[in-house]
Amino acid sequence: MKKLLVANRGEIAIRIMRSAREMGIRTVAVYSEADRLSRHVLCADEAYLIGPAASAQSYLNVDKIIEVIKTCGADAVHPGYGFLSENATFARRCKKEGITLVGPSPEAMEVMGSKLAAKEAVKKFNVPLVPGTEGAVSDLNEAKSVAKEIGFPLLIKASAGGGGKGMRIVEKEEELEEMLKLAMSEAKNAFGDSSVFIERYITSPKHIEVQILGDQHGNIVYLFERECSIQRRHQKVIEEAPSMVVNDKLRKEIGECAVMVAKSCGYTNAGTVEFIMDESKNYFFLEMNTRLQVEHPVTEMITGKDLVKEQIKIARGEALSFTQEDLKINGHAIEVRVYAEDPMNNFLPDIGTIEQYIRPDGIGIRVDDGYVQGDSIPIYYDPMISKLIVHAPNRNEAIERMIRAIEEYQIQGVKTTLAFCKMVLDHKVFRNGKFDTHFVKNHFKPEMLQSADSDEMEMAALLAAFMQQNKSTSPQTKGLVASGSNWKKNRLQD
């Protein structure tokens, strides 16, 4: 493999290119008209325009991407996450054209891309499943029968989807008909497939996922678990590894279960097996993501393994160079997703120009980003600005390091989720580990951030007055005024 085309944009494209470059592989970027001046374009050895801003006409345009691969002479393509990363049609097309896909087979994508097919596959390997229907439900009478068997509350879920689309919680029987129709309609509109199924609703769930790697020689390992329960709109915002509620015995058990899921579909390359865990630490298979995850850096930090490099090696046909016994957990890692969103307005995207951008630095801090100062956040794509990752010897130190990093991270011009993430990290429920996927609903109110903003504004005013009073006698204070909350922890002394 001498040349790799990265069929993606932003921070994940840059992250993949860095690992490829370290392996002596030339990289090729593709970009839409909206991304002409994006960092990922400048980071590649070559770059090609593939269409207008809309994803359907650019980053999801299979024909155009295949055309560019042939034009530039790339040996392989890495789809990153999102866009074409779990598209079995694209994977099959690459196979037909003799292009190496850095990812799993189209067959594995198809099985795990359907929640119903995935449940059927893993059931043969005795993987624990949430009680519910084995097939799609479209008839109200059948839904009522299932509801009586498993009880309320229950969850209606789209077979083909994710991200909370086509999902409805039903608290009582009178709501069942309406929620069934709504879920099926949303599933049809979002995924082109109205198939839904029903399962018991776990009221206080934790979202635990396991990273796996499988080569083409039958070797599969698990790289431990990630805790991903802090979410908004069914999408993750903060992830950490390992989970503080998983002990060594449970870690081995759930890890080996994830390996069984991979074996159920003949999986190769990097993948993530997601589980839902109840208050008694019973865990159930949720789904498998047949790609690299947004949160993969926390696994890299605790294992010392570069997952992108491992993906490329597997795609080249190499056997894994390590065994399960070689893998050890080193310290604790936390990732926060920095979105251009307004947490005080239901996390709606806040699009605009980044007027100031200063990244945090220091021991144990990593920033995977795709923007620089002066860039605009386009309206066409996911509004994630960056991923901020920290690593420390233990969880408490990792939390404090992340808070310090958030305080140093200066982004002006658009609203971000940084203040929200800091609030979460400071919350006693997060600190003691007794949180679940309902953290935002149960513990977050927008006024919490208003209070923090007011404190910072008051401190800024006090600081300005202090500086004005002392500027003639204390020249060392010049240039010390900083935005953000770095000053909140320090008492001003005369």
In the block, which residue shows the tokens 């504004």? 457
Token duo for residue 451: 């209070």
Q: Where do we find the tokens 């990290």?
A: 425
Instruction: Let me know if 275 is exposed, middle or buried by CB neighbors in 10 A (0-12, 13-18, 19+).
Output: buried
Q: Note whether 208 and 140 are within 8 A (CB).
A: no
Distance CA 200, CA 152 (A): 7
Sign of CA dihedral 318, 78, 367, 244: negative
Block residue for tokens 């998983």: 246
Q: What is the C-alpha separation between 196 and 154, in angstroms, rounded? A: 13
What one-character DSSP code corresponds to residue 99? Answer: P
Catalytic annotation, residues: 291
8 Å CB contact between 330 and 380: no
Beta bridge pairs of residue 129: 285
Q: Which of 229, 225, 239, 170 is nearest to 205 (CA)?
A: 229
| Residues written for the chain | 494
C-alpha distance from residue 245 to each of 146, 249, 279 (Å): 32, 11, 10
Take residue 353 and report the two structure tokens written for it: 């120009």
Triad 104, 105, 111: Cα angle to 5°: 95
User: What span, in angstroms and rounded, lies between the C-alpha atoms of 293 and 307?
Assistant: 10
Instruction: Say if residue 153 is preceded by a cis peptide, omega within 30 of 0.
Output: yes
User: Alpha helix locations (H) across 265-390?
Assistant: 296-303, 307-315
Q: Which residue has the tokens 């990265």?
A: 6
Q: Are 285 and 273 in contact (CB under 8 A)?
A: yes
Three-class DSSP category at 22: helix
Structure-block tokens of residue 95 = 């196979």
CB atoms within 10 A of CB 43: 19
Q: Pick the closest to residue 230 from 376, 378, 336 (CA basis).
A: 336
Structure tokens at 255: 């890890």
